[in-house]
Structure 1
Amino acid sequence: MSKRLSSKYKIDRRLGENLWGRPKSPVNRREYGPGQHGQRRKGKVSDYGTQLRAKQKLKGYYGNISEKQFRKVYAEATRRKGDSSENLIGLLESRLDAVVYRAKFAATPFAARQLVSHGHVKVNGRRVTIPSFMLKVGDTIELKDASKQLAVVIEATQLAERDVPEYVEADHSKMVARFARVPGLADVPYPVHMEPNLVVEFYSR
């Protein structure tokens, strides 16, 4: 399991955006970057800088994804037929940890990743501990019986800050969810504006 090397909320402050739409994000109080130079005026950003920022934002949103993993997802997105930027979003949203998060079994992508890696989640009846496991349309995910009463899980299902999107069918009374379809960019409820087309441009330079 890859290790997150910095505080998740430093990503928020570095980008100047509330990346996960959470009420306790420090960006809600301070919109400038972290550190002693955080309040300096920013110069004009180059095309490369804009593309890099778009990549950092999308990669950061999905939690602990390493650069190696993210590049691998990009390579698969470009290999498939169709729009590479739409394919990229579809692949990221097909990850097991992403669907656990979308089903509101976890409060954050980081918590969803931990829930999977600690063995609390089953896919089609079998325990899966790999957060990057790619789901297929129609796959069912379920929490283990002993995990359904975890306080963090129950609290997550009751969060009012986000809803379960249409491409995930969740039953919180049974702690079961189904991956109904692969979404496109317009279907994904990102709290901030994502630009996967710039990510594709960044890697194809």
Structure 2
Amino acid sequence: MARYRGPKAKIARKFGEPIEGQSKALQKKNYPPGMHGRGRRKKQSEYAIQLMEKQKAKYIYGVLERQFAKMFGIASRKQGITGENLLQLLEGRLDNTVYRLGISPTRRGARQLVSHKHILVNGEIVNIPSYTLKPGDVVAVRERSKSLEAITESLSGKAQNRYPWLEWDGNSFSGKFVSVPTRDDIPENIKEQLIVELYSK
């Protein structure tokens, strides 16, 4: 699938969760979209449940199918639990870290900031949203981009250091990727074991 650019509410209703931010549609229509949404059969096959979980993870992090499969391959070759490794790789993406630091209120916005060369990594411009950060890397807003309205508005409502694996310095508009997050630290409601089972078939 290509990167989804359609209605956010439709995706929220599909998964029954606010995938791309809070949506009133979930309260008004708490059933899947489409003409058969209300009467859709409840029981799903094991494969359908696993596929839905993979699709949900892809929508949350904004990753395409080929990228996701590649990341799963890397995760499966690493030591440790494959599902946890996968989530750690997704969390270590530059666009996701820009979002987590509060520089952008959404991952879509964070991806755009990175692509448009507003973000530095260790003092160098990096315009690749999928760039993987390592512990100790410093992510900062480019000097001439600090006055951008989208960035200043997002940071004005930022809660200080919400995530234990990141450090934020509001004076320099920079944050540090301190360590790889543990599964307990990652707040996303993803059942990663279902994704592992799907790829293991």
Q: Scaled by the length of structure 1, what TM-score is found?
A: 0.90
**Aligned residue in 2 for 1:147:** 145
Alpha-carbon shift at residue 18 of structure 1 (Å): 1.1
One-letter code aligned to 2:28: R
1:47 aligns with: 46
1:139–1:178 Cα contact (<8 Å) kept: yes
Instruction: Report the number of matched residues.
Output: 200
Measure, in 2, the Cα distance between the counterparts of 1:70 and 1:137: 22
**Structure 1 residues 59 and 3, CA, compared in 2 at 3 Å: closer, same or farther?**
closer
1:105-157 Cα deviation digits (max 9, x unpaired): 01111111111011100000000000000111000010111211211112222
The match for 1:79 is 77
How far residue 4 of structure 1 moved from its aligned partner, in angstroms, is 2.9
Q: How many Å separate the matches in 1 of 2:8 and 2:198?
A: 23
Structural mapping, 1:98-109, within 5 Å: 98-109=96-107
Shift of 1:10: 2.1
Q: Contact 1:138–1:179 at 8 Å: present in 2 too?
A: yes
Name 1:17's counterpart in structure 2.
17
Tell me: higher relative CO, structure 1 or 2? Use CA pairs within 8 A at least 6 residues apart: 1
Q: Percent identity, aligned pairs only?
A: 39
Structure 2: gaps spanning 5 or more residues:
none
TM-score for the superposition, normalised by structure 2: 0.92
**Is the alpha carbon distance of 1:8 and 1:161 closer, same or farther for their aligned partners in structure 2, counting shifts above 3 Å?**
farther
Residue 92 of structure 1: CA displacement? 0.5
* Residues 149-195 of structure 1: CA deviation (Å, up to 9, x unaligned): 211112222336896311111122321000011112210122xx211
- The correspondence for 1:181, drawn from 168, 172, 179, is 179
- Does 144-153 or 162-171 show the bigger shift? 162-171
Cross-structure match for 2:125:
127
Following the alignment from structure 1 to structure 2, what is the Cα–Cα distance between the partners of residues 181 and 174? Answer: 20
Aligned match of 1:58: 57
Counterpart of 1:32 in structure 2 is 31
For 1:93 and 1:172, the matched residues in 2 are separated by 21
| Residue identity in the other structure for 1:6 | G
Cα distance change of structure 1 residues 26 and 158 upon mapping to structure 2, 3 Å threshold: farther
Deviations 1:1-54 (A, max 9, x none): x6435333322111111124x334522332112222222243311111111111
Over the aligned positions, Cα root-mean-square deviation in angstroms equals 1.9
Contact 2:9 2:23 survives alignment (8 Å): no
Q: Is the 8 A contact 1:78 1:84 kept in 2?
A: yes
